[in-house]
Chain A
Amino acid sequence: MLRENFHCEAPIRRSAEAERVPGRVAIKTAAASVALSGLLALTACQSPNEIAMKIGAPPDSAVKLRAVETRRYETLDEPALLAAAAQTLQDLGFTISESSSEVGVLVASKQRDAEEAGQVAAQVALTLVALLFLVPYEPVWDKDQNIAVSVVTTPIENSRQIEVRASFDRQIRDTKGQVRAELIDDPEIYKQFFDKLSSAVFLEGHPL
């Protein structure tokens, strides 16, 4: 998963809180927060061009991702394939936001809850442990997410096949309102989509 968080905000609040805690813990916390803010400043405050170079780089597992995201169908009817993809996405609860059959593009998105019992439990436990050591800690977990998918169909030259590539990504908002975005690379999600698409077009999708 690609996780990026680019915000040029130094965590000033934490060091202010540290001053209230007496003795060694305070010094340790202060040192930790200074180190943390230094680290954050180093990673966060890049120039827009540097961010563009970093974000614009191909995904680490581009070849693997392509294989997961792509299937080939034995058909020449591109509009029918796109219509089937639109139906499949609607069955999965997506809303179509953009479509262009001339170039084989279909874009859709949906909003979903992102709370996971495990993550919430871990955060609560961490807060309790922090309380034991008199360290202030505010629990934070993922709240909701916006899942988007781009489906692109491409006729393969000199063959009777059409390639369908679907890319899912999501923006997750946590309980503090921070947003992060990531590409979805879970093969199970893609398998589910292509299985449904295959049954919609009565054709078997062949992996690359």
Chain B
Amino acid sequence: MNRRGAAGIILAVAACILLAACQSTRQLPPNVLSSKPAVELRAMQTRAFDTSDDTKVLRMIIATLQDLGYAIDKVEPPAGTVTATKLSVLSLTAVVHPRGTGQTVVRANAMVRVAAGSNTQVDDPAFYQQRFFEPLSKALFLSALQVEDENPGLDEKPIIPETGVPPNAQPSTSDAPSARPRMGQLPPGWHGP
């Protein structure tokens, strides 16, 4: 009886070890998002264009992406989104939405595939400016306007001092003569109740 019990315990332990060994040790790393503050990311990923025709902007984004060698993956005109991938490595999602009465805002987000099943977010302002917004504004014949942060209150780290200049007012536009920074004008009632 005693020996049987001991054998049972040993068997159970062995089974536990075997089961544990079956667990995948090489789990795929999840998507890695940028560690930069949300305000900074929003500033580099967002531009406004002086047009109210958001369908035209969406069409132009598609044309620009195609011109840059991206293959279109998904388009959703009612939501104003388009996702495209270049050479299976670089994927970019752009979202278009109207702002106020005469402006359309474009936000782009790019991910790079670093290994199978693992993507890393691109957080280089130069990439968004030179590899997306510059070609886009050329296609639209409109300047890409820097958007001032719309609601910093939502951010986890409100780093803009009340009197100071936003730290990312124009970090990415120094090499872009076409982009003229401008203070965004908030539509009335933007801040909500």
A-side residues, CB < 8 A to B, are: 2, 4, 6-8, 48-49, 51-53, 55-59, 62, 65-66, 98, 100, 102-105, 107, 148, 150, 152, 154, 165, 167, 169, 171, 179, 181-183
Contacts and interface: CB of A to CB of B under 8 A. Distances in A.
With a 10 A CB-CB cut-off, give which of B68, B75, B127 has the most chain A CB atoms: B75
A165 B66 contact: yes
A66 B121 CA distance: 29
B87 interface: yes
Contact of B114 (A2, A48, A98): A48
20 contacts: A2-B69, A4-B89, A49-B122, A49-B123, A52-B127, A53-B130, A53-B131, A56-B131, A58-B69, A98-B74, A103-B55, A105-B72, A150-B66, A152-B66, A165-B66, A169-B87, A171-B88, A181-B89, A183-B69, A183-B87
B89 A105 contact: no
B126 A53 contact: yes
Interface residues of B, number: 40
Contacts of A59: 68-69
B86 A55 contact: yes
A48 B71 contact: no
B120 interface: yes
A56 B110 contact: yes
10 nearest A-B residue pairs (beta carbon) = A56-B131, A48-B120, A49-B124, A181-B87, A48-B112, A181-B88, A102-B77, A150-B72, A52-B122, A100-B75
A150 B67 CA distance: 11
A110 to B, nearest CB: 13
A161 to B, nearest CB: 15
A102 B69 CA distance: 22
Given A53-B130, A103-B62, 17 more contacts: A2-B87, A48-B114, A48-B121, A48-B122, A51-B112, A51-B114, A52-B90, A52-B122, A52-B127, A59-B68, A98-B73, A103-B77, A105-B72, A152-B62, A152-B66, A169-B71, A179-B88
B67 A62 contact: yes
Name A's interface SS: mixed
B162 interface: no
A53 B135 CA distance: 14
Contacts, number: 111
Contact of A51 (B72, B76, B89, B130): B89
B59 interface: yes
Interface string B50-75: 00000100110011001111111111
A4 B85 CA distance: 14
Contact of A49 (B66, B77, B127, B130): B127
Contact of A150 (B71, B124, B127): B71
Contacts of B130: 53
Given A49-B123, A56-B127, A150-B66, A107 B72 contact: yes
Interface in B148-177: none
